[in-house]
Structure 1
Amino acid sequence: MNIQDPKHWHVLSSDQLLKDLQTSSSGLSQQEVGIRREVFGPNKLPDKSQISMIKMIIGQLINPLIFILIAAAIASVAIGEGKDAIFIFLVILINTVIGVYQEYNAEKSASNLTKLLRIKAKVKRTDEVSEIDSEDLVPGDLVILESGNKVPADLRLIQTAGLEVDESFLTGESQAIKKNPEALGKNTPIADRKNIAHAGATVMSGRAQGIVIATGLNTEVGKIAQNVQEGESAKPPLIQRMEKFTKKIANIIIVLSVILAVLLRFQGMDFSAIFFFVVALAVSAIPEGLPVSLTVALAVATRRMAKRNVIVRKLTSVESLGSCTVIASDKTGTLTVNQQTVKKIYLSDGQQYDVSGEGYNGIGEISIDGKTVKPQKESALFNVCKTAMLANESKLLLKDEKWEFYGDAMDVALLGMGYKAALQPETIHEEFPVQSLIPYESERKFSGAFYKEDNHIHLAVKGAVETILSFCHMQSAEIEKIHTTANQFASEGYRVLAFASGEVDDFQAKDFYHLSDIPKLSYQGLICFIDPLRSEAIQAVAKCKKAGIQVMMITGDHPATASTIAKELGLKEKSRTVVTGAELEKAGGPSDKAFQDLVASTNVFARVSPTQKLEIVDVLIQKGEFVAVTGDGVNDAPALKRANIGVAMGSGTDVAKDVGAMIVVDDNFSSIVAGVEEGRFAYDNVRKVIYLLVSTGAAEVVMFILSIFAGLPLPLLAVQLLWLNLVTNGIQDKALAFEAGEAETMSRKPRDPKEGIFNNIMSQQILISGLIMGGIAFGLWLYLNKFTNMSELHARNMVLLLMVLMQNLHIFNCRSERRSTFNIPISRNYLLILFVILTQVIHIASMHIPFMQSILRIEPITLQEWGYILVLAFPLLLLMELFKWWGRRSEQL
């Protein structure tokens, strides 16, 4: 036997299945089990290997900015400036330590969410039934399923009794699937294979026996997990933008260095001196502190996201949500609660009631025309609620302020409806004691309960509309009208059950009731169920729209259900309401225009397979969108990995969580939107840090070039430049990482995916602030060299202090690209003041410490000199305020 062969197990009859798998209704022998275990191995997915510390360290070092810093350090050693190299390697070390620490903590948090529960399986071997670990199952084993069980492997069912299975994790179908052992056609899609129970599914009700047809990686879950491991992930937006930014910086440095080298050679300078100048220029232009500052900014955002129930596994993913232009969301369990809930009651007298609340609980109320009602005894509403609670095999209890439940999803939902009607299941059962039950069987499509009322036996039944109506005294016109109403509800995405009851003349308790035992009953009404929206989902989607983010719903559920949920969410915006997987299949693949047109025509997809979801994401990425994909099931995993940012649900499958770059702990779509907001805040803060560091670097370059053309010595030594970039700026720029987000952040459209970090406004501000700072510093250097007798050492000391003070003031300019510095409350970031003071204290202290004096070639200054330099630094703040005012004025014109 070779189970790896691509057999269509769902096509075979039970007898042929047993023959092909070389097993029987008595199960395998222990000897045969041992042989097959050697061939097929344990029934489990490979354990996810933990990322080693070495890999984490290497991951932090593989960064273009780090490469440039290493090159600068090597150049520093080449010209004999070993101290400079030490400074550079120190910043690389700090960046690596912070990054590895943060990633380790994130992986630890993610791993804590992994379910450690081992699945047990009831198996029949050599005619003996025993319970074993699911890992010990082999192909050909006979497995027995009961209500509440997890399906331990892919099973071909050979016997069923009212079996309903929840496979939403795999198919996206929100309703439990009724299963039966009948053979199916060869081309039956996975979601419609009613005779297969897939590994990881939950038995909601009924019983069954099935033969194991696939274990481990050969199960449908295993195949998806394997494809996910082999698939490629799109680069996070921040990585893409930082790569472009780094190339720009490197190109600018190379061009400036070549130009400077040529100019100096024409002036007659020797090659060794030219090399020294070029290295000094490179050191001034490279924002050495940027890697550490970025890491800190992203780490701060990571902690903020964790407080809002979003665990970030990689620092570079922090900003990705903020960059997304499209959120492709799963429906079941993400936008909805993944729990069937009664929403409408339509009685035989035509009265229609609405039911509020969501999920398996008694929180909510029944209302009509907006008015809350409590059913009076013997009223039509009371009677249908009574039937729903008596013809019921489930439990729903409030224990220690927590709702506990088990049993069929529809039955649990009906008990929840009973609580909302102020009826207690225990009280109803005491007043109307059940004498016997008719269990639900998919073949007969109804269930019922015989109960005693006023010393008479009555029968309460619920089930498929056509089945229940066949039991009732009704005229054909009435039946047709009820069918029309039920079909209307079904077209709106509701699952509809009918209810009836009546007195029994001659009752006898039996193990099995024939249809002839059912007396003529009185029709009571229809009850409509749906997997409802999370209460906060509508507001969260509206917030996305305001932020310019397109929300797409991609589900494996029924098109009618998807359409109803989409309307409630306000997603019916495009020409098509819903596109189905069948339509996508006819349109070809992601490279076909017809397929691309379908994707562009709607933002709601239903009956979509995992592969098609992946293809939809591919099309969006090819169009240049930054795509965030959310989901909780195994069926979501391939798309989660392919997306720019994959967001897994905390209660979802381990496969989805292993793939997701982020995990939403509370499964709440609004937490995803909160993550988008924090991601935008993080990117804004990253830009602020880059603005500060690059503009001060530009100022140093301007000061250098002007000094060279003026025939002056270098205004600062290489080690002094490093001091500016790594210590002074390197301390205070961290404060920008803690800036609170600006209120208008979620009112802005997403950044253009093609836009780099340097947009027009940032480029202008860097250029202008760099020219101002560089010009002021050069002016002081020129004055001290040409018009005073001050020593070169002390003059450099004064220029260095001026640069430090201008950086202290410039950080306030960097708090916003548009708003005035004086309109941003300092209460939003007290660290800013603290770090600016700390920077100034450290620099002044270094002037008085002999060791630092020796390294930095600096000396103490007088208080009067400090005051003069401070006054000289203030024009920077005032001129940048003028520039912002002009920018705001231009936007209004």
Structure 2
Amino acid sequence: MSSNNPVVQESVVPPRSNTTSRSASDTAFNDRIKNPEIQIQYRTLSIHADSIEKEERDPKKAANATDPASAIRQIDVHRLAIEEVYTRFSTSPIVGLEATAVERRVKDGKNVISKPPTQYWKKALNYVFGGFNFLMWIAFIVTVLSYKPLGDPDPAVFNLGVAVLLLLVIIVSATFYALVDWHASRIMNSIKNLVAEDASVIRDGKHQTVPARDLVVGDVVTLSMGDRVPADLRLVTVSSDVRFDRSLLTGESDMIPGTLDLTSDNALETRNVALASTFVVQGSCTGVVFAIGDKSVMGRIVAMSGKTKFKLTTVQKEVWFFTKIISTLALGLFALALIIWAAWLRRSFPGFETASVAIVNSIGCLTAFVPQGLPVCVALSLTIVAKRMAKRNVLVKNLATIETLGCMSVLCSDKTGTLTVGKMSVQNIAFLDGEFSVDDIKDRFSAEEGFGAPLALRALHMVARLCNGAKFDSASAQLPLDERQIKGDATDSAILRFSEGLSVPSIGVSTPSLLESYEKIFEIPFNSRNKWMLTVVQPSVEPAARLDSEADKWMLVKGGPDVLFPKCNNIMKADGSVLPLDSNRRSQLQLLQERWSSQGQRVLALCRRTLGGVAMDATLSPNDMEQLMYRNLGDLTLVGLVGIRDPPRSDVAGAIKIIRRAGVRVFMVTGDFKLTALAIARQVGIVTEEKVDDLKAMRTSPMARRYAGLDPPVIKPAENDGDRALVLTGDDIESLEAADWDMIVGGYTEIVFARTTPEQKLRIVEQTKARGDNTVAVTGDGVNDAPALKASDIGVAMGAGSDVAKEAAAMILLNNDLTSIVVAIEMGRLVFDNLKKVILYLMPAGTYTEFLAVFCNVFLGMQLALSSYLQVCFSITNDVVMSISLMYEKPESDLMLRKPRNARTDRLTDWRFFVQIYLFIGLMMWPCAMSMWFLWMSKQGLGFYDVILVYNKWTDGYKGFSTDQLNEFVSVGQCIYYITMVFMQYGGLLAVRNRRVSILQSNPLWGPRRNLAVPLGMTGTLLIGVVNLYGPGLQRVFGTTPIPGMFWGIPFAFAAGILTMDEIRKLIVRTYPNSIIAKMAW
């Protein structure tokens, strides 16, 4: 660049184009985006920096100041000239920092922002008293009271034992909650660490990519569009269009331009500083690091802002709501049992139960209704699934995303790099009078074939090479052209590789000569709004290869033909001659564009014009220069067209078929030309219908009457409607009204949105979310995708995408592969499915079988069929061990054939659920368990009517038995009841593993539904049962005892019966899907 050029466009070392620049400290802030507290603290610091009398500024004081406002006031790097910046930090624009300087400065600490201190005491309180533990505390306290003083003068050791057991339960539960929480945090941190956190720096005169955490003060950092600013930087070079997103700090979405000059005395408001954790959303720049880690502005704000409040996920909220209902019911029944004892039993049947016994027996109301394993299973399920997804290259940034995935009903996917390979290559080239393939263009343009000097080819080479944002990686310079690495956009990369292939000095086309002949003086990068890129070059020397040496400056433009054709007045023929671009020639080119586009090619127009008559004042600012170029963007000569092919990924069509079969509609949202987008959509299965409507056809269809006056939640395609396809362009979207959106969202299953802008993509997301109770997922990888990603229910960023997109998204696909979304949807549905199974497993034994033992004691005057100890033990050990195994269940075969869950109306439990719990499984469990109690009593000579309505008659001499004999009968009967429940839960567990499929096709020992946690859980609960019955210490304290052999065998038959009955139910559901039983099935 000439020294008198007033516009600073490029850094001395060109900025990179496609690497990540994400600070290691950002892991702590993934959940802080748009945090009002951060924005308030930022604004407070800014006001302090403006309003308080300025202190003497000293960079050392700034670095060491403990008061954030004082530290900000000490910053003066924005006042320094660029040369002074390099001098202060002993660095250089060419060499950067030397290795010895880096080693010295690394002692100042890592570029990591410390996390706010964790309030462990609050966490500990939540572990100890959270979930169902508060009910356990109530049970513990009243049990202690029943021992003493209510048990005086002869307190029962049994009561003390139950109290100790409850205390152990609380301790174990709290420990388990803590371990699950720690494990979840560890998994989520490891997942976040998989995302690249690198920065591009200049050290020892070379471009290097280093971990952002290793940046030091004085490092020269290069940034380009999409990068996160990794530390506080003083800008030293900027492109004319560089813009920053400071919304994380300010809360405002306006793009802030970057400058080299001071724009404000306030270090937080000036535009020649880039602050850590903001984003480059346009252009490129270079900066010198002046603060890192905790000493950066963001570090100081985080230290002030404190801890982010914890938020419950949707499933956790539902479980908490369910917990409140169950807890209220449990407390109510506990209180009711005591009231009945105090008001009736104590007076009508004196001696039946003392206050101490009544309290301990009523404890069963608290423990029976409490599915103690549920909170543990919620936490476990989310972390297990997050880990499974990470192994499949799907990273979730928070656990709530996993739940939302199960509700996804619409997927808005971009095209390039998601549906396609993302590796573009130029296939065809066309001039006005000729169409060529890449393979033969150089041969056809040789002088021997009659074209003379290949001026058209040289002009094409000039535009393709100089109007290009991509660059070859110098490290791969010695490799063959097809293997050389390129940093930049996929389209620019394809054209760069193509232009390099055109370089054949023997026919007068030479890239080295071209690059020596011209220097770039201005550039407007491609963006999705303009759909074009513009570069201004001027001659630098006088080599023979320069085109049209009389030209002072050239404007070179490449972009979409439909956008640039109106700006072209002339067109170049293959021999280099120029003709007017009249309507006939324009139509000829449009037909060519449509033909190439219908083959799935992206078509670009390469244009140029001279700027000899355009005055460029040396004092023009970058923004003024940009406006000048906009005013002169016309009178272009169309040099030629290029067709670029980006083939669909081989496995995308299969993935889309699975996604659509799961009830999720897939919309393509792309900036590509309409026909190109439609061609790719057909190839991957997004569009399968032969007839495709456009806006006019949609508006003239009878659908408008169908949706008139309907509430937004019901605007969705009917189940019996077939597929309908629609293609709309960005211009169409601008004219859409509410009624149009009703028809689009409600009437079409196959939609392609082409030539869209970021604003239009955002509008598509918002309008789709507003209708049909849709849960909308959006894929994206660029800066401009960020608004739509953030507005969607599930933002999905690509692993190779920009840092802005990754920050806005809730999920990242490390392999950039749409097939990973299939895994994500399946895992999201699996979480909800498995939690339902846990509740179905826990509730029949607890709220039915255990509670009815207490009910019969209170209302039917029976001895307690299941002791308080065994009730507590069963609920918090046997059931928990078995329920956890359900969290490791794999997806059922029909999981991806069901409709998406409606996040607004579909609850974790519904009436079908309770039919299964109380009118099916529960109705089998309770009679079986109680029949074993009566069978045992009958074998001791006590018939049915001898054990009910007994109340206070159960005493010495009753039916000729002594007190010790009667107590022995009860102890053995209680242990039989307990073991019967243990074995019957085997049948319950195997029954709830599948909603529809037989156990024969999904056994837990082998095959696709193998789950070894099930037999392990069964073994564990059996061992607990054996210890309870045969443990000498437990026998002495809690009165447990061995049971006869026949009572070990009969429960197996009951378990098999439960499983068999459920198998019959499933068979009926499968065979008669419209039957009453099928309609009641969960």
TM-score w.r.t. structure 2 length? 0.58
2:830 to 681, 684, 699: 681
> 1:750 and 2:886 equivalent?
no
Amino acid at match of 1:239: Q
SS at match of 1:891: coil
| SS, match of residue 345 in structure 2 | coil
What is the match of residue 238 of structure 1? 315
1:14 equivalent in structure 2:
none
**How far is 1:598 from its partner?**
9.6
Distance 1:426 1:795, change over 3 A: farther
- Alignment counterpart, residue 861 of structure 2, candidates 695, 704, 711: 711
Counterpart of 1:472? 577
**Corresponding residue number in structure 2 for 1:414:** 495
Percent pairwise identity:
22
Whether contact under 8 Å (2:331, 2:365) holds in the other structure is no
Distance 1:148 1:872 in 2: 63
List aligned pairs for 1:481-492, cutoff 5 A. 481=587, 484-485=590-591
Provide the rounded CA distance (Å) in 1 between the counterparts of 2:216 and 2:569.
39
**Do the aligned residues in 2 keep the contact of 1:333 with 1:667 (CA within 8 Å)?**
yes
Please give the alpha-carbon distance, in whole angstroms, between the structure 2 residues aligned to 1:134 and 1:582: 48
Q: Return the offset for 1:656.
A: 5.6
* Aligned residue in 1 for 2:928: 776
Superimposed CA distance per residue, residues 642-672 of structure 1 (whole angstroms, 9 cap, x where no aligned partner): 7655545444555665665544323333323
Q: Any idea what SS the aligned residue of 2:485 has?
A: strand
Match of 2:915? 764
**Preserved CA contact (<8 Å) 1:76 1:85:** no
In 2, Cα distance between equivalents of 1:545 and 1:458: 54
Encode CA deviations 1:724-762: one digit per residue, 9 max, x unaligned.
223222222222222221122111111232121123443
Match of 1:89 in 2: 171
1:189 paired residue number: none
Change (3 A) 1:809 1:482: same
Alignment CA distance shift 1:686-1:560 (3 Å) = same
Matches of residues 832-843 of structure 1 in structure 2 within 5 Å?
A: 832-843=1014-1025
Kept after mapping to 1: 8 A contact 2:983/2:1052: yes
Contact 1:817–1:884 at 8 Å: present in 2 too? yes
Partner deviation per Cα, 1:677-727 (whole Å, 9 max, x = no partner): 122223222222221112221332234334544321111122212222232
- How far is 1:801 from its partner? 1.1
1:308 is aligned, of 377, 392, 407, to 392
Corresponding residue to 1:103 among 185, 201, 214? 185
Q: CA separation of 1:235/1:834 partners in 2, compared to 1, >3 Å: closer, same or farther? A: closer
Please state if 1:792 is matched with 2:970.
Answer: yes
2:369 is equivalent to residue 295 of structure 1: no
Moved more, 21-30 or 778-787: 21-30
Q: 1:299 to 1:528 in 2, by over 3 A?
A: same
Task: Describe how 1:8-407 pairs up with structure 2 within 5 A.
Answer: 47=113, 49=115, 52=118, 54=120, 64-79=131-146, 80=159, 81-82=162-163, 83-117=165-199, 200-201=279-280, 236-254=313-331, 256-257=333-334, 260=337, 264=341, 267-269=344-346, 274-327=358-411, 342=426, 345-346=429-430, 348-349=432-433, 351=435, 377-378=443-444, 392=465, 394-395=471-472, 403-406=484-487
Amino acid at match of 2:443: K
| Inter-CA distance 342–98: structure 2 relative to 1 (3 Å threshold) | same
Q: Is the 8 A contact 1:632 1:652 kept in 2?
A: yes
What are the within-5 Å matches in structure 2 for residues 649-660 of structure 1? 649-652=798-801, 657=806
Q: Is the 8 A contact 2:245 2:281 kept in 1?
A: no
Superposed CA deviations along residues 771-811 of structure 1, whole A, max 9, x for unmatched, are 21111111212332355256211111111111111112221
Aligned partner of residue 853 in structure 1, secondary structure: helix
* Distance in 2 separating the partners of 1:160 and 1:829: 58
Change in 2 beyond 3 A, CA 1:544/1:197: farther
- Structure 2: gaps spanning 5 or more residues: 1-43, 48-75, 90-109, 147-158, 205-214, 248-254, 260-271, 347-353, 525-533, 559-563, 610-635, 688-692, 694-723, 942-967, 1076-1082
Deviation (angstroms), 1:486: 7.6
Question: In structure 1, what is the equivalent of residue 986 of structure 2?
Answer: 808
Which of 549, 557, 562 is 2:664 aligned to? 549
Aligned partner letter, 2:495: L
Counterparts in 2 of 1:85 and 1:410: CA distance versus 1, 3 Å: closer
The count of corresponding residues between Structure 1 and Structure 2 is 784
| Cross-structure match for 2:717 | none
Distance 1:854 1:864, change over 3 A: same
Partners of 1:759 and 1:327 in 2: CA distance: 28
Q: What amino acid sits opposite 1:241 in the alignment?
A: E
Provide the C-alpha distance between the structure 2 equivalents of 1:46 and 1:319, rounded to a whole number of angstroms. Answer: 31
Quickly say closer, same or farther: Cα 1:627–1:786, change in 2 above 3 A: farther
Q: Could you tell me whether the CA contact under 8 Å between 2:504 and 2:510 is conserved in 1? A: no
Contact conserved, 2:461 with 2:509, CA < 8 A, in 1? Answer: no
How far, CA to CA, are the matches of 1:660 and 1:145 in structure 2? 21
Structure 1 unmatched runs, 5+: 6-20, 35-43, 123-132, 171-176, 182-194, 354-365, 367-372, 502-520, 588-592
Report the Cα distance in structure 2 between the residues aligned to 1:497 and 1:103, rounded to whole angstroms.
51
1:111 Cα offset (Å): 3.6
State the secondary structure of the residue aligned to 2:578. Answer: coil
Q: What's the secondary structure of 1:694's corresponding residue?
A: helix
Contact 1:264–1:274 (Cα < 8 Å) also in 2: yes
- Residue of structure 1 equivalent to 2:845: 696
Q: Deviations over 1:18-37 (max 9, x none)?
A: xxx99999769679999xxx
Among residues 1001, 1026, 1035, which one is paired with 1:853 in the alignment?
Answer: 1035
Shift of 1:863: 3.9
Cα drift, residue 202 of structure 1: 8.4
Give runs of aligned pairs for residues 421-436 of structure 1, distance below 5 A: 435-436=513-514
Kindly state the Cα deviation for residue 546 of structure 1 after the two structures are TM-superposed: 1.8
TM-score by length of 1: 0.69
Distance 1:887 1:68, change over 3 A: farther
Which letter maps to 1:683? F
Matching residue of 1:360: none
Within 1, Cα distance between the matches of 2:345 and 2:398? Answer: 52
Distance 1:93 1:68 in 2: 17
Offset, 1:578: 5.1
What is residue 732 of structure 1 aligned with on the other side?
882
Aligned partner (choices 990, 993, 1000) of residue 822 of structure 1 = 1000
Range 430-439 or range 682-691, more displaced: 430-439
Contact 1:295 1:315 in 2 (8 A): no
Q: Is the 8 A contact 1:168 1:633 kept in 2?
A: no
Residues 66 and 88 of structure 1: CA distance in aligned 2, closer, same or farther (over 3 Å): closer
Q: For the residues of structure 2 that align with 1:62 and 1:637, how far apart are their CA atoms?
A: 41
Work out whether residues 153 and 200 of structure 1, in 8 Å CA contact, stay in contact via their aligned partners in 2. no
Distance 1:871 1:165, change over 3 A: same
Give the number of the structure whose alpha-carbon radius of gyration is greater. 2
**Cα distance in 1 for residues equivalent to 2:679 and 2:934:** 71
Opposite residue 667 of structure 1, the aligned amino acid is N
* CA RMSD of superposed structures (Å): 6.3
Q: Distance in 1 between matches of 2:679 and 2:1038?
A: 66
Deviations along 1:579-637, one digit per CA (max 9) or x if unpaired, are 689959x98xxxxx789869957975943459x94995598379744454555566666
Cα distance in 2 for residues equivalent to 1:165 and 1:532: 32
**Cα distance in 2 between the residues matched to 1:430 and 1:476:** 27
